Structure 1
């Protein structure tokens, strides 16, 4: 996948963390920085492609900023970059990726590149990746027993598998695309 250039908004109430992320991204992307939820919303416009959003901030939280981004129908991808361990409430959140702090520069760059690419694909495939991200975040933090006893996780898994199968069927109709099939198989 060729690397694309994008506009990234880094949102974190810890100025040191925000500056480090910005510096790690600046050589490959245009970067804006906000130190609060309010600043983040003020910094958002149609030029922003990716938002790297801390969940736990005083005042307007990352969760609230995410809700406002989606309410405003801004066409950007959002990665939650946080130390907050995910609980089943993330299933209803409309983020595109969930990263656990501490995050390396390589992880940031890879995530931004993936999100820029995802923004160019069909909405069904974008939804597939959102579901996959939520599923992976919960599987990383929850015990097998907790997952097995969660109706929310069961529904998430059902949605994920249904969408995966629909995408595979569409792929079969279009012809064999080995790279796409490999991407889907990663989430089996």
Structure 2
């Protein structure tokens, strides 16, 4: 991110809801709003830091827009903000976080703050937090039996375990530098959540 003020694109097909999100974030972000997938794809470029993306929209779905963002290799964080309840298909999706509607002003601001911070992390840490978010989401939405029977979930846990070791090594290096207190708190919080599951 080039500045302290993140550039946020809100992609939401309900104009009233998109405008509400914009009002909630307007004093902390540079905002652009797209009410459909085609407009969103035209607006997404290397200047966009964060995309708040609805999954279910007429025309181009949020899933298709997300794939296009990743195919273009744009370095932006994406949070799905949707009424679609998460299922195991989210494991392979390239988003960074997932909020189920309805969302509050505090939740939306929190996610933008977190994604802004994550943008300063390297690719390894970004992947770690994206996968940890997916695991936490599935843990909250699925039964133990569903989790145990999912091969995708088992692979997710395995990948997280490998990344956790790598992240712990990276964290030791970062502890020697200034400005990484929030990073350490995020990793410590995730480790606690992982151990409790």
Structure 1 length-normalised TM: 0.93
Q: CA RMSD in A?
A: 1.7
Residues 4 and 113 in structure 1, CA contact (< 8 A), matched pair in contact too: no
Structure 1 match to 2:194: none
Segments of 5+ residues of structure 2 without an aligned counterpart are 192-197
2:35: which partner in 1?
35
**SS of match in other structure, 2:172:** helix
Query: Aligned equivalents of 2:117 and 2:145: distance in 1?
Result: 35
CA contact (8 A) 1:88 1:152 kept: yes
- C-alpha displacement at 1:185, in angstroms? 2.3
Could you tell me which runs of 5 or more consecutive residues in structure 1 were left unpaired when the two chains were aligned.
none
CA distance in 2, matches of 1:114, 1:108: 10
Counterparts of 2:143 and 2:154, CA distance in 1: 14
Q: Distance in 2 between matches of 1:137 and 1:118?
A: 18
2:189 counterpart residue number = 186
1:76-102 alpha-carbon deviations (Å, 9 max, x no partner): 110000111111111110001111111
SS of equivalent to 1:115: helix
Query: Would the alpha carbon gap of residues 175 and 116 (structure 1) be closer, same or farther in structure 2, given more than 3 Å must change?
Result: closer
Indicate how the Cα distance of structure 1 residues 43 and 174 shifts in structure 2: closer, same or farther if over 3 A, else same.
closer
Is residue 48 from structure 1 mapped to residue 48 from structure 2 by the alignment? yes
Deviation string, structure 1 residues 25-68 (Cα, Å, up to 9, x no partner): 00111110001111100111221110000000011000000000
Q: Which residue of 2 aligns with 1:123?
A: 123
Equivalent residue, structure 2, for 1:17: 17
In 2, the alpha carbon distance for the partners of 1:49 and 1:175 equals 26
Match of 1:156 in 2: 156
8 A contact 1:10–1:33 mirrored in 2: yes
Deviation at 1:173, TM superposition (A): 5.1
Q: Is the 8 A contact 1:21 1:105 kept in 2?
A: yes
C-alpha deviation, 1:175, in angstroms: 5.1
